[in-house]
Amino acid sequence: MTDRYAAQDLTTTAKALFEKAGAAAPVAQAMADILVEADLLGYGTHGLQFVPAYLAALEGGKTTTSGEPEIIIDNGAALVLDGKGLPGQWVMVRALDLAIARAKDTPMVGVAIRNSANISCLATYARRAALKGYFAIVAASAPTTKAVAPFGGASPVIGTNPFAVGMPGRDYPILIDTSAAAVTNRAIERAQRLGEKLPFPALVGADGKVSDDPAVLKTDPPGAIRPAGGDEAGHKGFALGLLVEALTSGLAGLGRSSDKPPAGNAVYLQLIDPRGFAGTDAFTQETGVLASLCRAATPCDPANPVRVPGDRAAAAFATQSAQGVALHPEIMDRMRPLLEKYGIPVPAPVA
């Protein structure tokens, strides 16, 4: 049976780890908050699974441990930030604060970010904005990463290029968190560690043959992740991947064209305030009715009624906030030696 842990215990533990590795207290707090929030929402590959990698980056001096992202271009409602190599959770929390402050004067604010460390779960930021009444768009690329083949290709060129959307709703946000790739890097990494195959042929070998075996990414030359959509509709995933690259690296002005692009993420964050258009009530009326119509659709399988993006996350958040966070078994196994190294107690599962 999967162990459950109190969310506050996990947050306290993760924050202590990041501080021991050198992160300033507010930076460590943002990192811990966002990672645990991801697990609360059910994004189990983009929460505390990141702890070993983030800790290694802090210990190795690859991540800046304190400071603030810097505004390098300011056009009021359009800004470019330099993340200064800071942890992505801290950069995004500060960028979101800045965008919300600017949105008091204008109904649309866009923030492009360069040189941020990995930002983990995009849905956490979109959800936070939506809960404050904003229609939010978050996109991220990794300019140094070549993982996904263009449609029709067999060699890696772009990243998985995730994006998230948070829409204010009647009871909770409609929350989209997906990527332009057939599978995430984190899911592949977990399959590799556990010696498993992927659940479907999400990869393509250098020979052009599709595969479910992560080993095809380690050949010479390497294979690649396929765009979302596969053989029939991969052109759509590829198109979305290009859109994310343009929103992030393009608008931030630093990406694959650079001789030495910074590691980590380039990000785009946009807030749209419905009050500046037809109004919040009109917006939530439309999103609410649309969601209800979708849920009322005749299901292919009566045992599995139609869900709207955000339904599962809202249910997971409510359940796990009350009953404890159900972590994948490997997560605490990977955290335990790190906690022992720094003399931090291993959190006890809830009864």
Q: Is the pLDDT of residue 47 over 70?
A: yes
Q: Is the pLDDT of residue 1 over 70?
A: no
Query: How far is 325 from 40, CA to CA, in rounded Å?
Result: 6
Q: Is the pLDDT of residue 44 over 70?
A: yes
Q: Is the pLDDT of residue 205 over 90?
A: yes
pTM comes to 0.96
* Phi, psi for residue 165 in degrees, rounded to 5: -135, 130
Mean pLDDT on 4-30? 98
Domain 4-288+309-341 has CATH 3.30.1370.60: yes
Query: How far is 148 from 131, CA to CA, in rounded Å?
Result: 33
The answer to whether 16 and 335 have CB atoms below 8 angstroms apart is no
Q: What is the CA radius of gyration of the chain?
A: 20
Q: Give per-residue pLDDT as tens, 129-157.
A: 999 999 999 999 999 999 999 999 999 99
Q: Give per-residue pLDDT as tens, 62-93.
A: 999 999 999 999 999 999 999 999 999 999 99
Q: Is the pLDDT of residue 322 over 90?
A: yes
Mean pLDDT on 280-304? 97
State the average pLDDT for the chain: 97
- Closest by CA to 167, choosing from 117, 123, 104, 208, is 123
Cα distances (Å, whole numbers) of residue 291 to 21, 175, 209, 288: 44, 11, 39, 5
Mean pLDDT on 314-339? 96
Q: Is the pLDDT of residue 351 over 90?
A: no
Q: Can you read off the two tokens belonging to residue 305?
A: 């009624």
Residue spans of the domains in the chain: they are 4-288+309-341
Residue with tokens 């992160």: 23
Terminal CA-CA length for the chain: 12
